[in-house]
């Protein structure tokens, strides 16, 4: 019984060992489970990586071992004097005859998906000089008769791409440059368009795939915005309770509920970070090492507030213009170094009422006296600065995850940029955000449409940090 013919294109990524084949597969498949190593020979078996959107496979990539004995294989093929239209049959004979021969294991693994109909993506390192030893590999691929293109990868900064282009042009229909470590969505789509041109039958499905891929990027932004919106809402409105034996709370009990409250908010942020990483297919990243929490920058640290929070002037202007402050008599008491804003901290008193100092998150209340069961309560969040700190951290995290190539491995180091807030948060936006934050603090039941609108506002922020045609705006590469 014949296997069903797939309706989507397949491509075998092949080449010399350690030239970035697996990195290119990871980038184009947006899959960070692809095994990548600087050690030659890490890939010993072909492995399939289908790229799916809504359960539909758009295209399939095969990560393959590198050529090991290309000259021997080519010598075997050239013993058969056949016309061009018969050469692919000789390649299949080689596979059949040497299927269980360990010395040709790598060549068999890389040739099998090609002979089963996969197009060829031949990868070379443009930072290394061209050499004649590659010609045996390219000639073998030509014997298969399958449509093919070459990708010039740059593993280091040196550039020999011109001599590579001259040589590759003799063997491949198309030659493109593609760096999987820095490629953005625009680069990805450009490669897909080139892949479509390899075979007439692939033009229509690949074009359809590109459209779905673009919609897929938009949905990832939407999903990210929704989980961030929920994080801010839940964090601002959540209430923590602690039973106590009497109607008086000890210092230890007050400290305990504050610790519980802070830890609960930290967990909410960490859970959201995991969701964002899952949305952008970076599950492997957080298994290896979490991208966040920010190293040395706790959610409640002064450094976090100074980078992501509002200044005293911004906070007062935002509160006043959004109706949070009324009356002419506002007295500022500066408390020096405090928990959330350092030297810029202050407390608003007079007509402001419950406008807390930055070293306070929410009033600790003793409740339940009339019922004979006493407990402490902390929340909802009354600190006006906290939602901006939390939102800023979530936006930063999402941008870093979205711009990170699936080909990157190793330790992640985030160097925080103190100008990040100015790139997305202006006075008008602060006013709009504050109107929602005020509703979150109210403790009233929130209509679903309100949270939906807040999510759309966050999505516009994320889109504003992402350039045209899907390419991320220039941000410092801190990886």
* 8-state DSSP, 466: B
**Mean pLDDT, residues 331-347:** 28
Residue 385: predicted pLDDT: 93
Residue 409: predicted pLDDT: 63
C-alpha closest to that of 112 among 137, 124, 94: 94
**Mean pLDDT, residues 448-470:** 85
Query: In this structure, are strands 119-125 and 330-333 parallel, antiparallel, or unpaired?
Result: unpaired
Residues forming a β-bridge with 243? 375
SS3 content of the chain, % helix, strand, coil (to 5): 50, 15, 40
Residue identified by tokens 């994320």 is 462
Contacting residues for 355 by C-beta, under 8 A, at least 6 apart: 319, 324, 325, 347, 348, 349, 384
Angle formed by the axes of helices 427-441 and 200-237, nearest 10°: 60
Q: Which token pair is 90? A: 């000789």
Whether the per-residue pLDDT at 3 is higher than 50: the answer is: no
Q: Which of 241-255, 409-423, 446-460 has the lowest average pLDDT?
A: 409-423
Compare 267 and 39 and report the one with higher pLDDT.
267
Residue 293: predicted pLDDT: 47
Instruction: Let me know if 283 is exposed, middle or buried by CB neighbors in 10 A (0-12, 13-18, 19+).
Output: middle
pLDDT in tens, 175-210: 999 998 888 888 888 999 999 999 998 888 888 888
Residue 470: predicted pLDDT: 40
Residue 137: predicted pLDDT: 96
Q: How confident is the model at residue 295 (pLDDT cuts 50, 70, 90)?
A: low
Q: Which of 117-126, 357-366, 394-403 has the lowest average pLDDT?
A: 357-366
Residue 346: predicted pLDDT: 28
Residue 32: predicted pLDDT: 76
**Mean pLDDT, residues 260-286:** 88
Compare 379 and 340 and report the one with higher pLDDT.
379
**Mean pLDDT, residues 374-403:** 91
Residue 460: predicted pLDDT: 94
Q: Which of 7-16, 90-99, 148-157, 241-250 has the lowest average pLDDT?
A: 241-250
Compare 407 and 387 and report the one with higher pLDDT.
387
Sheet holding 119-125, edge to edge: 47-53, 56-63, 10-15, 119-125, 148-153, 174-177
* 8-state DSSP, 123: E
Residue identified by tokens 């078996």 is 45
**Mean pLDDT, residues 42-70:** 88
Whether the per-residue pLDDT at 229 is higher than 80: the answer is: yes
Q: What percent of the chain has pLDDT over 70?
A: 79
For the chain, the average pLDDT equals 81
Residue 194: predicted pLDDT: 92
- List of domains in the chain: 10-198 (3.40.50.300), 220-470 (no CATH)
| Three-point CA angle 153, 51, 64, nearest 5° | 50
Q: Which token pair is 270? A: 């960490």
The answer to whether 46 and 66 have CB atoms below 8 angstroms apart is no
pLDDT in tens, 414-456: 556 678 899 999 999 999 999 999 999 988 888 999 999 999 9
Whether the per-residue pLDDT at 58 is higher than 90: the answer is: no
DSSP per-residue letters across 2-59: PPPPPSS-EEEEEESTTSSHHHHHHHHHT-TTS---SSTT---S-EEEEEEETTEEEE
Q: What percent of the chain has pLDDT over 90?
A: 49
Compare 469 and 388 and report the one with higher pLDDT.
388
**Mean pLDDT, residues 10-39:** 84
C-alpha closest to that of 123 among 65, 57, 206: 65
Q: Which stretch, 97-101, 288-292, 405-409, has highest mean pLDDT?
A: 97-101
**Mean pLDDT, residues 393-399:** 92
């Amino acid at each position: 019984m014949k296997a069903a013919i797939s309706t989507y294109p397949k491509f075998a990524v092949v080449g010399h060992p350690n030239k970035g084949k697996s990195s290119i597969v990871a980038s184009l498949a947006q899959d960070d489970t692809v095994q990548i190593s600087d050690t030659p020979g890490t890939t010993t078996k072909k492995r399939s990586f289908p790229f799916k959107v809504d359960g539909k496979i758009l295209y399939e990539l095969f990560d393959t071992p590198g050529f090991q004995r290309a000259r021997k294989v080519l010598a075997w093929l050239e013993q058969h004097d056949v016309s061009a239209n018969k050469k692919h049959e000789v390649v299949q004979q080689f596979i059949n005859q040497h299927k269980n021969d360990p010395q040709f294991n790598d060549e068999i693994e890389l040739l099998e998906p090609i002979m089963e109909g996969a197009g060829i993506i031949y990868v070379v390192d443009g930072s290394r000089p061209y050499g004649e030893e590659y010609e045996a590999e390219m000639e073998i691929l030509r014997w298969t008769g399958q449509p093919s293109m070459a990708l010039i990868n740059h593993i280091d900064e040196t550039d020999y791409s011109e001599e590579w282009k001259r040589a590759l042009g003799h063997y491949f229909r198309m030659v493109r440059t593609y760096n999987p470590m820095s490629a953005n969505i625009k680069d990805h789509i450009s490669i897909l368009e080139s892949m479509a041109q390899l075979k007439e039958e692939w033009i229509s499905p690949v074009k359809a795939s590109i459209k779905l891929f673009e919609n897929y990027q938009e949905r990832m932004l939407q999903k990210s915005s929704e989980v961030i919106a929920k994080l801010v809402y839940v964090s601002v409105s959540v209430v923590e309770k602690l039973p106590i034996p009497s109607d008086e709370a000890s210092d230890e009990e007050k400290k305990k509920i504050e610790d519980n409250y802070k830890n609960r908010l930290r967990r909410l942020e960490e859970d959201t970070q995991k969701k964002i990483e899952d949305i952008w297919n970076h599950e492997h990243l957080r298994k290896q090492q979490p991208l966040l929490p920010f190293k040395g920058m706790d959610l409640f640290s002064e450094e976090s507030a100074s980078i992501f929070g509002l200044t005293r002037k911004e906070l007062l202007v935002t509160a006043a213009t959004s109706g949070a402050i009324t009356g002419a008599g506002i007295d500022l008491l500066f408390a020096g170094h405090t928990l959330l804003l350092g030297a810029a901290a202050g407390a608003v008193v007079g007509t402001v009422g419950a406008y807390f100092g930055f070293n306070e998150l929410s009033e600790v209340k003793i409740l339940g006296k009339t019922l004979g069961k006493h407990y402490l309560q902390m929340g909802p969040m009354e600190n006006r600065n906290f939602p901006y700190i939390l939102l800023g951290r979530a936006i930063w995290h999402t941008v870093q995850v979205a711009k990170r190539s699936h080909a990157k491995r190793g330790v992640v180091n985030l160097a925080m940029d103190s100008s990040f807030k100015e790139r997305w948060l202006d006075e008008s936006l602060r006013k709009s955000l504050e109107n929602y934050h005020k509703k979150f603090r109210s403790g009233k039941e929130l209509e679903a449409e309100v949270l939906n609108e807040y999510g759309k506002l966050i999505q516009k922020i994320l889109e504003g940090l992402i350039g045209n045609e899907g390419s991320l705006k220039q941000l410092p590469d801190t990886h």
